[in-house]
Chain A
Amino acid sequence: MRVYRDDQKFLTFRINALLWAIVAVFVFLAGSFWFVQGVQAEKYRNLSDANALRPVPMPAKRGLIYDRAGQKILADNQPAYALTLDRVVMKPIIKGDPSHRAKLVAFLSTVLGMTPQEIENRFEKGKLVQFARPMPLAEDVSMPQVASIQAQALSFPELNVEPVQRRNYPYDIMAAHVMGFLGEISEKELVNHKEMKQGDLIGKRGVELMYDEYLRGKDGTQFWEYDSHGRRLAEVKNARQEPVAGSNVYLTLDFDLQRRAEQYFVENEFVGAAVALDPRNGEVLAMVSAPAFNPNIYSRRFTPDTWKLIASNPFKVELNRAIQGLYSPGSVFKTVMSVAGLSEGAIGPGTTFFCGGSGVFYGRRFRCWRKQGHGDVADANALKVSCDIFFYNVAARLGVDKIAKYAHDLSFGEVTKIDLDGEKAGLVPTTQWAEQKQHRKWYPSETISVGVGQGPLIVTPLQVANLMAAVANGGTVYRPHVVRMIERIKPDGSTEKLQVAPEVLHQVKLSPAALETVKLGLWKVVNEEGGTGGNSRVAGLDISGKTGTVQVIAQKGWFSTAGMPFLDRDHAWFASYAPRDNPQLVVVVFVEHAGTHGGVDSAPLAKMLYESRFQKEIQTTTLDLTNPETLQAIRDGKLPMPGQTTKAPAANANDSNLGH
């Protein structure tokens, strides 16, 4: 043991140097940790959460759609099963067994009844979904399919069957065009809906589309802890974001009116549209477009077969004829002509035109629908008998631009801004239109055609309903709407009701005298012998209206050119309101290719709807139901059932076969 005596200074110096070097290194390390844990803590905390927590979507319950009374549910949600793929689980499996993917595709193709290529397509599409999120494979899996998937759960742990809500329309085709349907969100829609994700359902048409943001609600999220092997451990309860249920939507549709109107079209195999409006506020009480589709089929993924079936339907079932169908208004337009002529002073009380069956205007002969002519026609009777010669004269006196002004004011030529998608504006021709759009001069003779609702003039049934409503209520054009109220369910369970207020689009100034004359004419159409709308007559109720016929042959350029005899037949209009003195209901019925005029095929539906709507009033005015004898008479069939009325007089029927 030697006491060390070597250069102590040498060693001490180097030890001290080492110590300070170490202190410097430790300060550097502490600084590095400070940078990571102090400065960048937030970033790493987020990464840590993302690591451990995976969001599991909790779909919001989509709002229900009710009828007007809130008693019938027109759209609800049904429990269903969706099949999803967890790629976080699948990735390591495929890494360990590269053949697993092919096995999975084969299995899915067997269970789902799709070709392997379709499965691959779905995988490809699913790549847009965030990796950690479940990738949707099929959203409506049947119970047997669920059973076969779960039987293979050990072989394919990445497949999950999740309970979901499926949109359901209990009345199938009922109000299909108003209800619309759902569909998978498109890439375009995703751009505008950042809050949604691939595979989500979104309203595609109708109320489902227009009120989607109310109906949809807000999806919630559960956060589950997963370990690095993809095993789900436990839910982090305090991180959960509860879903917010969508608001319920109450339509303005009257269930009974809607159903009767639809049945009428179905039973008669009619193609066409019907609109019932409340002229006091623009509420749509019924809107039919026939033929209709079944939104229950549309709201699911289409199989190729379904697509073929829909695409092959010649009647364009998706078209909402009430707002997208463009037709010549025919004689219905004579209502506008009367209003315009009287208001502009082109005609006045006592203005009489002689109808001899035809007349010459601007060097061309124009015929009246009644070959033998109407004789002297004046005032309200012009509308009643729908004399073409009378309105040719009015048109000639007004000129197309003045006609167009009133047509516009009474809601033609522009969208009514109804709360439905895809509404068409139609067309009201003017001289300017001819020059700017057609690059030609407007021929005065064309004005004569417009005078009876022909020519380039095209309208939608809803616009006609709006016209009738404006006449009925004295000149107010409301914005029609199909939603009456939105009922928001707050998180605490209470509800908040948002009423849809009536909105006035135009206020048309009409002289009371002119209005009275027009209204009288419309009343006579239905209620006087010789009127063209007698088929809608309801005892005990003053219905006013106007019939119209559109000749298709001459209009081929505007419509289908398919040479089927069916398509050559005339369209039939009937536009009406009631009661005369206190109008509460407007009914417009349009039947494509009916082959008869509006009084025969369209008016009976209007009659049915009025009977249904004014059941109470009709009963109290025609039958004393408190009298046992009356009741007995009804039972015996001697008196009509309440709401049913006696048939229109035979003479009227004969006349109307030819009438407009």
Chain B
Amino acid sequence: MAVRERTLARLDLNFLGTALVIATIGCLLIYSATYFNDPGLNIFKKQLLWIGIGLALMVVFLFVDYHVFFDIAPIAYGIGVIMLIYLLVLGRTTANVKSWIHIAGFQFQPSEFMKIFTALMLARFFDNHEAAYLNLRSFIRIMLIIAVPVGLIAIQPDFGTAATFFPLVAVAMFFGGIRWKAWVAMGIAVAILGIAGYSQLHPYQKDRVVTFLNPDRDPLGKGYQVTQAKIAIGSGGIHGKGFRQGTQAKLEYLPARHTDFIFAVLGEEWGFIGVAIVLALYLFLIAQALTFAKHARDRGGAFLAICLISFFIFHVFINVSMQIGVLPTTGIPLPLISYGGSSTMMFLIAIGLMLNVDMHRFANA
């Protein structure tokens, strides 16, 4: 489907610009968090590379009408499932978790791309489903679409990433339309699964939950990360310590300082002002994406935008909350800011798809 000039003119530059500003802030923070013990700036340069590749992929996902992706979604979804199975069988264990595929020296996480494919599958489903409420058959279909990748990721075992599929469930139920009886049934099921799931957790995962409940219990042990992150953020104060001036990160007190806890670097170096600005940028991105959903040409577009932005919402909320101990520590990256090839690419693709929905909001496009 050819891209028309009028379609291109409808590209929401504010949305794209905001995403790029966030990614730029991410690069600066990654630089600040790594330059002192990474003299070749390899991490920083790699992130630039990921963003470059991500932008290229974004262009593809931006200009090809999203309905085309609906058409090929089942194939992509299938390939994703195969990759996840491949990982389980042959994947190398990295940090207790078999979530990386090593291709030509690069590692990438199929689970991140699986989010896009699953979102596309869901949107595709709703594109063809026009009832305000889901019946049981439709509901089970949707849950199966989500459950297959979640199950495969959970047994890697990577509960953090598996949990990131949760927003899709929420979207399906909240926007797909569920009757109150179904809500109650779901609630009971989740409670039972939650209790059963906790007993099945690995010790380090249980530790995280316990630590979350009482981070000061063992400041040098399991609560260490949260304690150090809070010290970093708190010591930043209103104005922050300044770019590259953070001591918590520089002196390696702060763990995962360029990945999961990069927001703490932001808090330390840029202070509350920086935190507020970044939160505002995310909020703008979210509000704009929801506007896209409202104005989407069809249910498929609306659901695609909602599904994709729900990933942003979920990641931002979980990641930012865990920085100050509002939620337990999980390996959930901050969209477009945390270092990481797969997630950066995934979020840029998502940005592209959401813009795509917005661009094609008119039937005659």
Q: In A1-44, which residues have CB < 8 Å from any B CB? A: 1-7, 10-12, 14-15, 18-19, 22-23, 25-26, 29-30, 32-34, 36-38, 40-41, 43-44
CB atoms of A12 and B294 under 8 A apart: yes
Alpha-carbon separation in the docked complex, A228 to B257 (Å):
13
CB atoms of A26 and B283 under 8 A apart: yes
CB atoms of A11 and B294 under 8 A apart: yes
Alpha-carbon separation in the docked complex, A451 to B237 (Å):
82
Q: Report A26 CB to chain B, min CB distance, Å.
A: 5
Stretch in B181-189, B205-213, B295-303 with 4+ CB within 8 Å of A: B295-303
CB atoms of A37 and B238 under 8 A apart: yes
Alpha-carbon separation in the docked complex, A1 to B300 (Å):
9
Which residues of chain A have C-beta atoms less than 8 A from B272's C-beta?
Answer: 33-34, 37-38
* Residue among A5, A12, A18, A38 with the highest chain B CB neighbour number at 10 A: A18
CB atoms of A4 and B324 under 8 A apart: no
Question: Which chain A residue shows the least CB distance to B170?
Answer: A18
Q: In A168-198, which residues have CB < 8 Å from any B CB? A: none
Stretch in A46-54, A151-159, A209-217, A497-505 with 4+ CB within 8 Å of B: A46-54
* Interface residue SS majority, chain A: helix
Q: Is B57 an interface residue (CB 8 A)?
A: no
CB atoms of B237 and A38 under 8 A apart: yes
Q: Which of A5, A22, A225 is within 8 Å of B130, CB to CB?
A: A5
Q: Is A45 an interface residue (CB 8 A)?
A: yes
CB atoms of B293 and A19 under 8 A apart: no
Stretch in B27-35, B42-50, B246-254 with 4+ CB within 8 Å of A: B246-254
CB atoms of B253 and A228 under 8 A apart: yes
Q: Is A508 an interface residue (CB 8 A)?
A: no
CB atoms of B132 and A36 under 8 A apart: no
Give per-residue flags for B126-141: 1 if the beta carbon is below 8 A from chain A beta carbons, else 0.
0110111000000000
Q: Which of A4, A23, A45 is within 8 Å of B235, CB to CB?
A: A45
CB atoms of A33 and B293 under 8 A apart: no
Give per-residue flags for B288-328: 1 if the beta carbon is below 8 A from chain A beta carbons, else 0.
00100110111110100010000001000100110010100
Q: In A301-352, which residues have CB < 8 Å from any B CB? A: none
Which residues of chain A have C-beta atoms less than 8 A from B231's C-beta?
Answer: 44, 47-48, 51
Alpha-carbon separation in the docked complex, A483 to B59 (Å):
88
CB atoms of A44 and B283 under 8 A apart: no
Q: Report B272 CB to chain A, min CB distance, Å.
A: 4
Q: Report A156 CB to chain B, min CB distance, Å.
A: 23
Q: Which of B132, B233, B306, B317 is within 8 Å of A37, CB to CB?
A: B233
Which residues of chain B have C-beta atoms less than 8 A from A51's C-beta?
Answer: 228, 231, 247-248, 251, 253
Q: Is B157 an interface residue (CB 8 A)?
A: no
**Residues of chain A at interface, number, CB under 8 A:** 42
Q: Report A377 CB to chain B, min CB distance, Å.
A: 88
Which residues of chain A have C-beta atoms less than 8 A from B293's C-beta?
Answer: 11, 15
Question: Which chain B residue shows the least CB distance to A23?
Answer: B283
Alpha-carbon separation in the docked complex, A62 to B67 (Å):
85
CB atoms of A36 and B294 under 8 A apart: no
* Residue among B128, B231, B300 with the highest chain A CB neighbour number at 10 A: B231
CB atoms of B283 and A229 under 8 A apart: no
Q: Report A47 CB to chain B, min CB distance, Å.
A: 5
Q: List 15 A-B contacts (CB under 8 A).
A: A4-B298, A4-B302, A5-B130, A10-B132, A18-B290, A25-B317, A29-B317, A33-B275, A36-B234, A45-B235, A47-B234, A48-B231, A51-B247, A51-B248, A228-B253
- List the interface of chain B (C-beta within 8 A of A): 67, 127-128, 130-132, 174-175, 177, 228, 230-238, 247-248, 251-253, 267-268, 271-272, 275-276, 279, 282-283, 286-287, 290, 293-294, 296-300, 302, 306, 313, 317, 320-321, 324, 326, 363
Give 8 nearest A-B pairs by CB, closest first.
A44-B234, A48-B235, A4-B298, A41-B237, A4-B299, A37-B272, A52-B247, A45-B235
- List the interface of chain A (C-beta within 8 A of B): 1-7, 10-12, 14-15, 18-19, 22-23, 25-26, 29-30, 32-34, 36-38, 40-41, 43-45, 47-49, 51-52, 225-229, 233
